[in-house]
Amino acid sequence: MRLTHKVVLLAMTPLIAAMSLIAVAQRHQEELLAKRQQALVKRAYLDAARSELRHFVALALSTISPLYNTGRDDDEIKRQVMRQLAALDYGSDGYFFLYNDEGVNLMHARQPELVGRNLTRLRDAYGQFPIQLMMDKAKAGGGFVDYSWHKPSSDADAAKVAYVTPLPRWHWWFGTGLYVDDVDQVLAQLDEELAASVNTTTRWIAGISVAGLLLIFGVGLWLNMHELRLADAKLTLLTRQLVSSQESERAYLARELHDGTGQTLVSVKLLAESALQRLNAAELGDERAIAARTALQRAVDRLRDALVEVRGMSHRLRPVMLDTLGLPAALAQMAQEMWGDSATRFTLRTDGAVEDLPEAIKTVLFRVTQEALANIEKHAAASRVELQLDYTPAGLQLRVQDNGRGFDTEFFQRHPSRGLGLRHMRERLAAIDGTLSISSHPGQTLLLANVPKAVITRFSRQEPHANRQP
């Protein structure tokens, strides 16, 4: 794994873990908050309901007290009390009820069918005996009872809290209640709102996490691309330095062969020829003289061949014309040496105003042409080779075209051990930001090497201006 990938992974993992823990902790805390909120709301609602029930019962007592405190216990006064309690109405679900100490219903403002029935064994939805519980609470002096009872407005059982108080002289007790199922609806609405808030917060956390991850990924990708660009730039620079070093070494060897070894061989050749002329002038006819003349003549011939070979090696390493007369002359000389005595017809054409080329570009184009012509000579079996240099405002283009047998360019590009010359040409041009394109089929192979004008200008600024040739 690359170092950049490790850094990105190291940055993303803690962020993901932290955001996940934050989301879990946030959800847990909001669940606890929801439970506490429900408990507080329910308790406040029930406290308000109980306070209101106390007020209603106190109001009812103040209403019936003038009748109850008269001291009369006859049926008429009791009926008046019942009528007054039945008349106390505060909504469709707000009413009073009246029972005796045996649990017999004496008055019910909403359910008259219960009047006269003993309801002590009546069970509610919770399995309780609400009348028995309220009766016991009234005998103890009064208080609150929680139970389930029929709700007139919804025609269904609902949770209810009641407050009862005794009328001990008549052995009665009465009370009223409030349905508290509304609090469940309020709590359900609070749960929905809280759930929506939790989901919104979770989405925000997820969005922030994704944004953070994308930012880290983007920065990592940028760093990776930046490192790749730096690596490519360093590799290109290294390639240029390597090519420059190779060319410098070639030039050094060429000079040594031409100026050192070549001159030494010339001197030896001249001395041998001088000695041979003296022997010939002496006109010695014995066998030793004849053998000496033969040996010297052979040495002169060998020296002449060695000089030709050394000069050829020197030219192949670094042609003198490339440095003195420029690129077109060097290419023409190379082609002449390669095909001067063969049946292959070679033409060189230059279009446009010949420009002053930097040393690096001249060398690369010369080596590319050298490799291309060598491939044509070895493999193409061509009868015609055309070389063209086009100097245009867009840059310099080198065209090498032959009418040989052609080759499969895709195969040579994919094959790991074939087409090394093509790869070397591409690498040389890439080192100076040039491009190479090749198209080939039987009867025609075309190689195009392009060097943009901007590249020529850049290399011109980098190299000394003295002694540059086109």
pLDDT of residue 244: 66
What is the average per-residue pLDDT within 3-15? Answer: 67
- Of the given ranges (135-144, 203-212, 316-325, 384-393), which has the lowest mean pLDDT? 316-325
Inter-CA distances, 276 with 196, 266, 279, 298, 353, Å: 114, 15, 5, 10, 53
The whole-angstrom separation of Cα 176 and Cα 58 is 11
Query: Is residue 420 predicted with pLDDT exceeding 80?
Result: no
Give tens-digit pLDDT for 445-464.
Answer: 999 999 999 988 888 887 65
The whole-angstrom separation of Cα 304 and Cα 120 is 142
What is the average per-residue pLDDT within 133-160? Answer: 91
The whole-angstrom separation of Cα 426 and Cα 409 is 13
Inter-CA distances, 235 with 246, 454, 464, Å: 16, 20, 24
Whether 232 contacts 224, CB under 8 Å: no
Q: What is the DSSP letter of 383?
A: S
Q: Confidence class of residue 341 from pLDDT cuts 50, 70 and 90? A: low
CA torsion through residues 31, 37, 43, 49, sign: negative
Q: Which residue has the higher pLDDT, 341 or 179?
A: 179
3-state secondary structure of 239: helix
H/E run at residue 76: helix 75-87
Name the most confidently modeled range: 65-74, 158-167, 417-426. 158-167
Query: What value does the mean pLDDT of the chain take?
Result: 81
3-state secondary structure of 465: coil
Q: What is the DSSP letter of 436?
A: E
pLDDT of residue 319: 66
Using alpha carbons only, give the angle 84, 87, 93 rounded to the nearest 5 degrees.
135
Q: What is the reported pTM?
A: 0.46
Q: Cβ atoms within 10 A of the Cβ of 40, count? A: 10
Give tens-digit pLDDT for 359-368.
Answer: 888 888 888 9
Q: Confidence class of residue 286 from pLDDT cuts 50, 70 and 90? A: low
Give tens-digit pLDDT for 13-72.
Answer: 776 777 777 777 777 777 787 778 777 777 888 888 889 999 999 999 999 999 988 888
Q: Cβ atoms within 10 A of the Cβ of 455, count? A: 19
Query: Is residue 468 predicted with pLDDT exceeding 60?
Result: no
Q: Which residue has the higher pLDDT, 418 or 46?
A: 46
Which 3-state string (H, E, C) describes 155-193? CEEEEEEEEEEEECCCCEEEEEEEECHHHHHHHHHHHHH
In sequence order, the β-bridge partners of residue 100 are: 172
Whether 327 contacts 362, CB under 8 Å: yes
Query: Is residue 418 predicted with pLDDT exceeding 60?
Result: yes
Q: What is the DSSP letter of 103?
A: S
What is the average per-residue pLDDT within 330-358? Answer: 79
Q: Confidence class of residue 466 from pLDDT cuts 50, 70 and 90? A: very low
Q: Confidence class of residue 280 from pLDDT cuts 50, 70 and 90? A: confident
The whole-angstrom separation of Cα 388 and Cα 372 is 13
Query: Is residue 467 predicted with pLDDT exceeding 60?
Result: no
Buried b vs exposed e over 401-419: b needs ≥16 C-beta within 10 Å?
bbbbebbebeebeeeeeeb
Q: Confidence class of residue 121 from pLDDT cuts 50, 70 and 90? A: very high
Which residues, 6 or more positions from 81, have their beta carbon under 8 angstroms from its beta carbon?
Answer: 64, 67, 68
Query: Is residue 392 predicted with pLDDT exceeding 60?
Result: yes
Closest CA to 106 of 171, 159, 48: 171
The whole-angstrom separation of Cα 187 and Cα 196 is 14
Structure tokens at 348: 């060189």
Q: Which residue stretches of 256-286 are H helix?
A: 262-282
The whole-angstrom separation of Cα 96 and Cα 109 is 7
The whole-angstrom separation of Cα 259 and Cα 311 is 10
Give tens-digit pLDDT for 161-208.
Answer: 999 999 999 999 999 999 888 777 777 777 787 778 777 877 887 788
Q: Confidence class of residue 257 from pLDDT cuts 50, 70 and 90? A: low
3-state secondary structure of 350: strand
The whole-angstrom separation of Cα 95 and Cα 337 is 125
Which residues, 6 or more positions from 119, have their beta carbon under 8 angstroms from its beta carbon?
Answer: 99, 103, 104, 105, 131
Q: Determine whether 66 is exposed, middle or buried from the number of CB atoms within 10 Å of its CB (0-12, 13-18, 19+).
A: exposed
Which residues, 6 or more positions from 304, have their beta carbon under 8 angstroms from its beta carbon?
Answer: 269
- Of the given ranges (305-309, 395-399, 414-418, 425-429), which has the lowest mean pLDDT? 414-418
